[in-house]
Structure 1
Amino acid sequence: MHPDLVLLSARLLDPLTGGPLPHTALAAGGGRITALGDDREVRALAGPATAVIDVRGAVVTPGLVDGHTHPLSGAERTMGVDLSGCADLAAVREALARESRALAPGAWLRGWGLDPNVFGDRPVTAAALGPVLADVPAAIDLFDAHSMLASPRALDLAGIDGPRDFAQSSQIVCDDEGRPTGLLLEDAACELVEAVMPRPTAAEIRARAAAVLRGMAAAGLTGGHAMDANGDSLSLYAALEEAGDLALRVRVAPWCQPGADAGAIAGLVRTQGTGGDLWRVAGVKLFMDGTIDNGTAWLERPDCHGESAHAFWPDPDAYTRAVAELHREGVPTATHAIGDAAVRHALDSIEKAQAGTGERAGSPRHRIEHIETVPDDTVRRFARLGVAASMQPTHCCEFTRADHTDNWSRRLGEERAARAFRCRDLWDAGATVVLGSDWPIAPYQPLAVMAGARHRRPSRDLTQPPHGPEQALTPLQALQGYTLSPAWAAAEEDRAGRLAPGHRADLTVFAENPLTVPDEDLAELPVLLTVVNARPTHRAPSL
């Protein structure tokens, strides 16, 4: 049988060693790499229907996989005005005013990517954004997607006039007189406003999602570990695949929220393995805390505002029981844990779950997401327990500062801010470090994330000093964080993450070797070709 795809004149890069493979050509068919060899022998395998592409000396790596992303919920969330590039309140007000002037009467003003650092030492309130929000229903997502600023009109439409109690750690922030300031923390509070907001149509969401996935493919991504499956996500993945618009291979982890009973957990177990050719439910996402910027992380000592002292699950032992049940059923878990207490409790729970079943072949590989500040003893536990450390270096680069004058660092204080995003320490301790973007929290371009892992500087100004340069990864480690590491975390190292016969034909092709391009230039390295399942999903005009 002839291959579906042949690549010629290639430099094939081994992500295990960082060196070149002794081949110049690759053939793929049936979604797998079928042959490696020289141009002459591989070209001879091609048939009339084979796509033969001469990459003219370009560098081919295994396809890049974003270890933590939200492609569908992010597609909908980013349909408002993008505030991520606004460096101060004046810029935010101007962007919102410009968007407001274009609205139809009665329409909602939506925004996303608002950085709390623009408020400086001022409280994060709707009033701080000025009169632009005075007369319109508005919902502005902060960058972390764990908080929202709602205008007075939006609060009124949602019936929010004071504090409320929630089953999870959420809050309607109020002033000293009990009046809402507009700041809503965590899902349960934000959902009160989202429930009365108009939603885009299914067709609009699908079109936007397809466009986002095409953009991800053009950036070199061949896959993503999607950390949600809310609403109609699963049927949308199916529709996108049927239409030929699913440009990435997606591994989906639905949420398990506080209050989940045995029936809810059993339902999550039943969904495992469902999906299509390019998407599959595999794992469950849980939350152990919120975010440091909001004061909703779970720290072993409260932050400098006296906050971040509680778990997201009001009963942390209930989380432990949920992890144990999922582990018994062979379901891998991915736990959002940012603060040191949250990470420690997640590791404790995984250790108890493993002890409850004993060592056995095929045990699920658990992972912890974010891990923004942890002490030495916690770092050492990841490798011992076989827990993957899923991290997003650009969260450090873009939202914190080396001098600790940013909101995240000020809240933590010097000791904990000095152990920020310990990618290298975890790597050196033997943990599997998976890299990702957490899009739409930060841009999804994988080269920018890999560059941030290497230089630890803000992309908007690479002359700034790095935050924790001792935590920088090497070029090879950064590449492995997007290839070998996500394959291991998914228990797919026997069929993904390498350029070898029998492995998936998911490939990323670069104009130059990403391991030798300077750190500061890596984000601009051209992606010439992206291949998923032996099918090109992006091809540069120059190729």
Structure 2
Amino acid sequence: MSAGASGTSTADLLLVDADVVTLDPAQPRARAVAVSRGVVVDVGGDEVARRWRGARTEVVPLGGAALTPGWVDGHSHPVGSLTMSAGADLTAVRTLDQLRERLAQLARTSTDGWVQGWGLVPDVFPGGVPRADLVDDALGASDGDGGARAFLRMADVHSALVSTSLLRAAGIDGPRRFPSASEVVCDPDGTPTGFLLEWDAMALAERLAPALPDAQLRSRLRSLLDGMAAQGLVGAQVMDGDAASLDLLDRLEGDGDLPLRLRVAPFCMPGVDDDALAQLVAWQERTGRRWRVAGVKLMIDGTIDGGTAWLDHADANGESTGSYWRDPQAYARAVRALDAAGVPTVTHAIGDGGVRFVLDVLEPLGPPGAPDGPPGRRAAHRLEHLETLPDDLVTRIGRSGITASMQPTHCSNFVAADGSDNWSVRLGPERAGHGWRVRDLLESGALVVLGSDWPVADFDVRSIMAAAQLRRPVEDDDAAPVGPDQAISAAAALAGFTRAPALAAGDAARGVIRVGAAADLTAVGADPTTAPPADLAAAPVLLTVVGGTPVHRAV
């Protein structure tokens, strides 16, 4: 802070005429906030401006808009989305005829013989089973030969449909064995169908895709992050990463400050050895001005839609019966090694069997700073997604101190209340009825972080908070809610994007507006704690402030 003429301190930024939702129990509401050197220095009424205004103070009147702690997406893939969302957006495709028509158009206009797309739901295909022979001719193939090379990523981003032409170009001519439970899906005679399950299998074909020039990568990532800031995000907890993506962040920050903070947890995949674990630990020292590595991401299973989740009992297709790690104990050894080095882990765990196994591994490790635990780990270990949970697992998570991370729009936007969607059919009514138990986890005492899982679902926090309250898409008034008993309050939804991500990161100075807190703030045209969900979803984001600096403004 700087000194004024009278010797009193002045602020760098004053936000006035605001409806301040502080999330501080000691002072729940206020009218003005003063910021100096990236920190909140005063919260109160009109007297704040009188005390802190100086000749160089930037004063932003908010016209009665709500000012909240800055919104943080608790599970996102902004860097990974550069490849995960490559090509055409297929999220609106709902029938096989629509898909074939779109692919034919893309093939006709392709300049390099490639067609890429993302966001494709399995319900498009008969029986929810993607096959290349259903689309090859639309891509220009004749008698099963030729045509554009197509790589179409499914909505779960854990699987892809590739054309027969790409299978041949990649030399994929039969089943393969991987360190993970990835699979080249084949007909009974051993002929690949074109459906590739999980990361190792997809990599066989994806490695041939045209690479973007570095300047274009940086431009796309900058544009994406700017778009996130424009929707009120001050940060994202990034659930993937490798050497290339960390280097990209370094180069991007060389072009100028990032518009939001990124907390990155690089991947630890099956087959990891001691040297790779040591590299993951060493990466915890990597940091930029607004990004840092903090944690490691693992996956104990895949997805219910793809039949690669780990359920206590097989799904309706006889699938989803085991771990993504062929040896689950290798996962356990990796987690214990990372914990011993003080590194918090986040584990993708969707099925009840996977969640149960991960809890067995994590519970003995204890909370951060446990007297009998390793030194250095600031944050709790985390469970990501948690799509179907019986009562006993809800109770265990609540008492464990392990963070639960969930994505409300996965439920509201991809599941049908009548159980007709692929996810529900595979699980059956009982397990589908235990889906996305956000409210029950909160009531069990669990810390629940909310997020988007971009690019699986959109990162618009307003719509996600609305969906968490409605259990249906906010834009579809006619849709029946999915599991309405699991709807949460508006206040709980806001906490899931503010205070919860901060506490999950072991950072008590964020996610709240009070003196001494980091000045990461979001101003929106409707109070997220009182506005009807539809009004919140439509309200403009007026200001986004990161470290006391406005990074987006519409006032």
TM-score (norm 1): 0.95
2:133 aligned with 1:127: yes
Question: Secondary structure in 2 aligned to 1:42?
Answer: helix
Deviations 1:435-455 (A, max 9, x none): 000000011111111111111
CA shift for structure 1 position 234: 1.2
Alignment of 1:224-243 (within 5 A): 224-243=236-255
CA distance in 1, matches of 2:471, 2:246: 35
CA distance in 2, matches of 1:358, 1:43: 51
Question: Secondary structure in 1 aligned to 2:79?
Answer: helix
Partner residue, 2:19: 11
CA distance in 2, matches of 1:522, 1:11: 15
Cα RMSD (Å):
1.9
CA distance in 2, matches of 1:156, 1:237: 35
Partner residue, 1:423: 438
Alignment of 1:316-355 (within 5 A): 316-354=328-366
CA distance in 1, matches of 2:11, 2:126: 58
Pair 1:519–1:41, CA change in 2 (3 A)? closer
Deviations 1:257-288 (A, max 9, x none): 11212221121111114211211100000010
CA shift for structure 1 position 359: 5.1
Deviations 1:195-225 (A, max 9, x none): 1111111111110001111111111111000
Pair 1:184–1:39, CA change in 2 (3 A)? same
CA distance in 2, matches of 1:316, 1:514: 42
Contact 2:519/2:546 (<8 A) preserved: yes
2:82 aligned with 1:75: yes
Question: Secondary structure in 2 aligned to 1:313?
Answer: coil
CA distance in 2, matches of 1:162, 1:360: 46
Further displaced range: 330-339 or 176-185:
176-185
Question: Secondary structure in 2 aligned to 1:72?
Answer: coil
CA shift for structure 1 position 462: 2.9
Deviations 1:319-348 (A, max 9, x none): 111111111111110000000010011111
Q: 2:540 is matched with which residue: 521, 526, 533?
A: 526
2:307 aligned with 1:299: no
Question: Secondary structure in 2 aligned to 1:198?
Answer: coil
Q: 1:38 is matched with which residue: 45, 63, 88?
A: 45
2:469 aligned with 1:457: no
Alignment of 1:346-495 (within 5 A): 346-354=358-366, 358=372, 363=377, 364-459=379-474, 461-493=476-508, 495=509
CA shift for structure 1 position 37: 3.1
Partner residue, 1:51: 58
Pair 1:95–1:314, CA change in 2 (3 A)? same
Further displaced range: 389-398 or 255-264:
255-264
Contact 2:472/2:482 (<8 A) preserved: yes
CA shift for structure 1 position 524: 1.5
Deviations 1:93-123 (A, max 9, x none): 232222222211x331110000112225252
Pair 1:174–1:360, CA change in 2 (3 A)? closer
Further displaced range: 127-136 or 472-481:
127-136
Alignment of 1:248-263 (within 5 A): 248-263=260-275
Contact 1:365/1:386 (<8 A) preserved: yes
Q: 1:145 is matched with which residue: 157, 165, 173?
A: 157
2:525 aligned with 1:511: yes
CA distance in 1, matches of 2:307, 2:364: 28
Structure 1 gaps, min length 5: none
CA distance in 1, matches of 2:254, 2:128: 49
Deviations 1:21-80 (A, max 9, x none): 2x3211212221122233354255234443221111111000000000001111333231
Question: Secondary structure in 1 aligned to 2:52?
Answer: coil
Pair 1:288–1:528, CA change in 2 (3 A)? same
Pair 1:155–1:130, CA change in 2 (3 A)? closer
CA distance in 2, matches of 1:122, 1:439: 23
Contact 2:342/2:375 (<8 A) preserved: no
| Equivalent AA in structure 1 for residue 540 of structure 2 | P
CA distance in 2, matches of 1:36, 1:84: 43
2:32 aligned with 1:25: yes
Question: Secondary structure in 2 aligned to 1:239?
Answer: helix
| Equivalent AA in structure 1 for residue 59 of structure 2 | V
Contact 1:222/1:531 (<8 A) preserved: yes
CA distance in 2, matches of 1:511, 1:19: 21
Q: How many residues align?
A: 538
CA distance in 2, matches of 1:19, 1:132: 62
Question: Secondary structure in 2 aligned to 1:258?
Answer: coil
| Equivalent AA in structure 1 for residue 393 of structure 2 | T
Partner residue, 1:111: 117
CA distance in 1, matches of 2:15, 2:245: 34
Contact 1:475/1:514 (<8 A) preserved: yes
CA shift for structure 1 position 193: 0.6
Contact 2:265/2:296 (<8 A) preserved: yes
Further displaced range: 351-360 or 53-62:
351-360
Q: 1:313 is matched with which residue: 325, 348, 351?
A: 325
Q: 1:266 is matched with which residue: 255, 275, 278?
A: 278
Contact 1:142/1:149 (<8 A) preserved: yes
| Equivalent AA in structure 1 for residue 52 of structure 2 | L
CA shift for structure 1 position 154: 0.9
CA distance in 2, matches of 1:19, 1:468: 34
CA distance in 1, matches of 2:128, 2:287: 47
Contact 2:303/2:309 (<8 A) preserved: yes
Question: Secondary structure in 2 aligned to 1:293?
Answer: coil
Structure 2 gaps, min length 5: 3-9, 142-146
Further displaced range: 216-225 or 520-529:
520-529
CA distance in 2, matches of 1:309, 1:9: 56
Question: Secondary structure in 2 aligned to 1:330?
Answer: coil
CA shift for structure 1 position 460: 5.3
Pair 1:64–1:385, CA change in 2 (3 A)? same
| Equivalent AA in structure 1 for residue 150 of structure 2 | A
Partner residue, 2:549: 535
CA distance in 1, matches of 2:173, 2:136: 20
Q: 2:93 is matched with which residue: 86, 101, 108?
A: 86
CA distance in 2, matches of 1:476, 1:16: 13
CA distance in 2, matches of 1:266, 1:358: 23
CA shift for structure 1 position 430: 0.3
Question: Secondary structure in 2 aligned to 1:53?
Answer: strand
Alignment of 1:204-215 (within 5 A): 204-215=216-227
Contact 1:11/1:20 (<8 A) preserved: no
CA distance in 1, matches of 2:322, 2:166: 28
CA distance in 2, matches of 1:175, 1:41: 71
CA shift for structure 1 position 361: 7.6
